[in-house]
A and B are shown apart, each in its own frame.
Chain A
Amino acid sequence: MSVMMRILLFLGSVLTAAYVLRCIRRSKMRTEDSLFWLFFSLILLFLSIFPGAAQAVAGWLGVISTVNLVYLVVIFALIIKLLLTDQKVSKLEAQLQHLVQEYTVEHSDDCAPSETEER
């Protein structure tokens, strides 16, 4: 990994962490969701400071260029995050739907406001 690449990684990880912390400060993100990004930044930071670790792993996996390993790690992390986010969106959609359905039934002409029995 070239020095330039390491600097880029270092900056990238620090800026990502800073941005996420700023989101939390402004109550735009839940702390549970920030956990992933902070660990992600930590890993990139680690790789930028200790390129030897990346080199070693690259060797084991048969990856010739160390920087390709970094790309692999980032892509893999993004895939995981995408899966987790999809899960979250599905849950949000379900919750929203139930909320709207509840509202619709409560405000229909024939229903008096009451607790529903079944979900």
Chain B
Amino acid sequence: MRVLIVVPAYNEAESIGRTLEELQKQVPQYDVVVVNDGSTDETAAVCRAQGVKTLALPDNFGIAGAVQTGMRYAHRLGYDAAVQIDADGQHDPRYIPDLVSRMEETGADLVIGSRFVDGKRPRSLRMRGNALLSDAIRATTGRRIMDPTSGMRLYGRRLLKVMAYGTNYGPEPDTIAYFIRSGARVEEVPIRMRERTAGRSYLSLGRSILYMIQMCMNIWCIQWVRKRSDLTCR
């Protein structure tokens, strides 16, 4: 199965070098593409120095726009699947083959690298939000996803296409719920994540609250009015 590793990056010059090195060392069998989301620091230079294929967006479009660009590239070049890996080093590339083999074994459309497959989340506000979203998805789709906010997800070809060209397909929990309701097969594989190696997280308290409101609104209310995603064409 041809898999593309998509690394969205916005001003991650401090950490992306190490992340790319690790990808080369742990999973050299998979192609890597960095989506430079209009970085104003030396992110582009770091990628160029390492000889990694980079898609340079002319401006900052946010994580959804950057990932979508990667998906579009993956679909256009005929990849069977694409996995999102954060530039900050939180995702351990060692687990990518686990995600891939689960997809190959089960024919799943989406394989999530889940931190909480055994059900135990650490006690923090962020994790309360994670649990809340897991409950929302369970209530609206019948499916229990243990780690809905994990960014390490492997998307199969059917999903690649709609994510690449559609609207409202951001790499977020609401899209997972929508995919489940559209008939996609979702699996979870246990992984461990690490602390980010450098830089600051984008999510402040204010932004996190807004994010939770948006996600709950999307999962509880809005996904019902959307037409089922057409996952038939590749």
Q: Which residues of chain A have a CB within 8 Å of any CB of chain B? A: 21-22, 24-25, 27, 30-32, 34-35, 38, 94-95, 98-99, 101-102, 115-117, 119
CA distance A24 to B44 in the complex (A): 36
Q: Are B44 and A27 in contact (CB under 8 A)?
A: no
Q: Are B45 and A117 in contact (CB under 8 A)?
A: yes
What are 29 A-B residue pairs whose CB atoms fall within 8 Å in the complex? A21-B222, A21-B225, A24-B168, A24-B222, A24-B226, A25-B225, A25-B226, A25-B227, A27-B166, A27-B167, A27-B168, A31-B214, A31-B222, A32-B214, A35-B213, A35-B214, A35-B217, A38-B217, A94-B59, A95-B59, A95-B61, A98-B58, A98-B59, A99-B58, A99-B59, A101-B58, A116-B56, A117-B44, A119-B39
CA distance A101 to B58 in the complex (A): 9
CA distance A21 to B168 in the complex (A): 13
**Nearest CB of chain A from residue B29's CB, rounded to whole Å:** 26
**Which of A31, A35, A38, A117 counts the most B-chain CB atoms under 10 A from its CB?**
A31
Q: Tell me the B20-70 residues at the A interface (CB within 8 Å).
A: 36, 38-40, 44-45, 48, 54, 56, 58-59, 61
Known: A31-B218, A35-B213, A38-B217. A24 touches B225 (CB 8 A): yes
Residues of B close to A99: CB separation below 8 A: 58-59
Whether B221 is near chain A, meaning CB under 8 Å from some CB there, is yes
**Nearest CB of chain B from residue A25's CB, rounded to whole Å:** 5
Query: Closest residue to B226 on the A side, CB-wise?
Result: A25
Number of interface residues of B (CB under 8 A): 25
Whether B174 is near chain A, meaning CB under 8 Å from some CB there, is yes
Q: Are B167 and A30 in contact (CB under 8 A)?
A: yes
CA distance A25 to B168 in the complex (A): 10
CA distance A88 to B219 in the complex (A): 25
**Nearest CB of chain A from residue B51's CB, rounded to whole Å:** 13
Residues of B close to A115: CB separation below 8 A: 36, 44, 48, 54, 56
CA distance A21 to B221 in the complex (A): 9
Sorted nearest first, the 6 A-B pairs with minimum C-beta distance are A102-B58, A27-B167, A95-B59, A21-B225, A98-B58, A98-B59
Q: Are B226 and A119 in contact (CB under 8 A)?
A: no
